[in-house]
Amino acid sequence: MPETLRAKALRLFQLKRRLESSNDAGYCRCVTCGKVDHYTKMQGGHFIPKGKSSFYAFTDENVHVQCPGCNLYGMKHGIAAHNYTMFMIEKYGKRKVDEMLETANKPIKLYAADYREMIQSYNATIRKIRSKLL
pTM of the entire predicted model: 0.92
Q: Tell which phi-psi region holds residue 132, choosing left (phi > 0), alpha (psi between -120 and 50) or beta.
A: alpha
DSSP output for 77-103: HSSHHHHHHHHHHHHH-HHHHHHHHHT
Over 80: is that where the pLDDT of 53 sits?
A: no
Q: What values do phi and psi take at 32, rounded to 5?
A: -105, -30
**What per-residue confidence (pLDDT) applies to 55?**
86
* pLDDT of residue 79 exceeding 80: yes
Q: Are strands 27-29 and 36-38 parallel, antiparallel or unpaired?
A: antiparallel
Give per-residue pLDDT as tens, 12-24: 999 999 999 999 9
CB 37 within 8 A of CB 28: yes
